Structure 1
């Protein structure tokens, strides 16, 4: 039995309206979230392209964006392996920072005596310039991958500790009293109350640490990097600066910045997945 023509017409009309509404919402979201940054980026590139031409600057002083792209394409066989090496070093350094930092924070939060005894030394370690520590790291671990990972770990370690420890010590008093009322053990309180309550702080620390791990890897490559096809972006930047290959130097710097942005977005996505069902910060992002 065929439907009445009026009903078919109404269904087509509703379908058309829903489709147009979805398109309108997508366009509104695009304008609110991406249109401004895209326009600002285009204006910035246009100014950057124009200024060297107007001032007559040589490419080794201030290369144009087209020079940077050309250098990246010409030396892609060097740039891509360097990116891969830096990514691998940064990931290892970040994972070590995250795991050891969280476990160390739980240890400190489990006892006020331990926290007061050890935490000041963690702060002291953070205040020492990495450049001063790096030569000692190289002596202990040798030049190359091991030292670079350790330096990346040292730079990304403290934000995880400080944020996680703050979260573990910022438990809701009413919930804490409830656990006391039910005679919860110290580790039940830690596992079922303090760690879940500290998750937003922990995610904030990881967001900071993930970008610092890339900075640490590049700094480590400056000091402990090696060549022979095993050098990352830091080593490539050093070589490019010595050879005055400024366009390639810019290409390496931009690649490092893009790595930091990509790493941050991945960790932010993970944080939203962990918090979106119950914490206000992630719920607002979902809206």
Structure 2
């Protein structure tokens, strides 16, 4: 029953939404009902799905880039106090800088639209992986570290056999957050870019529908983004549970 609770709640919410819209005779250009949103999607399913695919391409590319960069820098600051002193302040500064403030500059500097969107989304998604992995690498119990050193373990052996296994739960938690932020960063960057064509993603379709007062189409795009976000989170959550279960 617990597993069915979200589905049942969602169906009840949609039924109430549709009922209230019809009962109060709310215009579709203000708040469309679920049936109007479905109809708007069915009017142009391939266009919206192609836009979603473009957004997801940016999202997954940024997630891979953010994960690679975050883990690499976390390993660097774990290995060297000098690297920590040099990298940590810049990573925090990058995290607290609003992406909407620097996205226009990135788009101009990079030139290639897809690469610029990936850079923006990577900046948004980078910090959770970096900070979580760094915390995991530093969370090794001192007694275990002393035991490894007592047996003459090298720095590489300590990293591979002790620090990395200790950091795995932290890394997976950061990756799960980063997955959602990659999508958020991609959408924000697409809003700022504001260029046309299928490859611009769902954010542009939202802007386009807003200018044309196609509110049901806007809601359809938002629903697709919501489904994509939930799917990414659920997939990474399942990966996290599976890896931790195997790890024991």
Aligned equivalent of 2:237: 268
Counterparts of 1:1-150 in structure 2, within 5 Å, are: 31-34=1-4, 36-142=5-111, 144-150=113-119
Secondary structure at the residue paired with 2:197? coil
* Cα distance, 1:225 vs structure 2: 4.2
Distance 2:140 2:62 in 1: 29
| Pairwise CA distance, 1:168 | 0.5
In 2, Cα distance between equivalents of 1:211 and 1:129: 17
Partner of 1:179: 148
Corresponding residue of 1:236: 205
Question: In structure 1, how many angstroms separate the alpha carbons of the residues matched to 2:144 and 2:191?
Answer: 49
TM-score (norm 1): 0.83
Deviations 1:12-37 (A, max 9, x none): xxxxxxxxxxxxxxxxxxx1322x21
Q: Is the 8 Å Cα contact of residues 108 and 114 (structure 1) preserved in structure 2?
A: yes
The separation in 2 between residues aligned to 1:230 and 1:260, in whole angstroms, is 19
Between the aligned partners of 1:146 and 1:139, the Cα distance in structure 2 is 11
Which secondary structure state, in structure 2, belongs to the residue aligned with residue 276 of structure 1?
Answer: helix
Deviation at 1:116, TM superposition (A): 2.1
CA distance in 2 between counterparts of 1:117 and 1:85 reads: 36
Secondary structure of the residue that 1:189 maps to in structure 2? Answer: helix
* In structure 2, C-alpha distance between the alignment counterparts of 1:267 and 1:113, rounded to whole Å: 33
| Structure 1 residues 164 and 56: alpha-carbon distance in aligned structure 2, compared to 1, 3 A threshold | same
Long gaps (5+) in structure 2 = none
TM-score (norm 2): 0.96
Give 1 or 2 for the bigger CA radius of gyration: 1
Q: 1:1-58 CA distances to partner (integer Å, 9 max, x unpaired)?
A: xxxxxxxxxxxxxxxxxxxxxxxxxxxxxx1322x21221121001110222222211
Q: CA RMSD in A?
A: 1.2
> What displacement does 1:228 show?
2.5
Matches within 5 A, 1:149-164: 149-164=118-133
Between Structure 1 and Structure 2, how many residues are aligned? 248
Q: Match of 2:152, SS?
A: coil
Give the distance between the partners of 2:114 and 2:92, measured in 1 at CA: 26
Residues in 1 aligned to 2:78 and 2:7: alpha-carbon distance in whole angstroms: 44
CA contact (8 A) 1:159 1:206 kept: yes
Matches of 2:123 and 2:110 in 1, distance apart? 14
Task: Compare 128-137 and 61-70 and name the one that shifted more.
Answer: 128-137
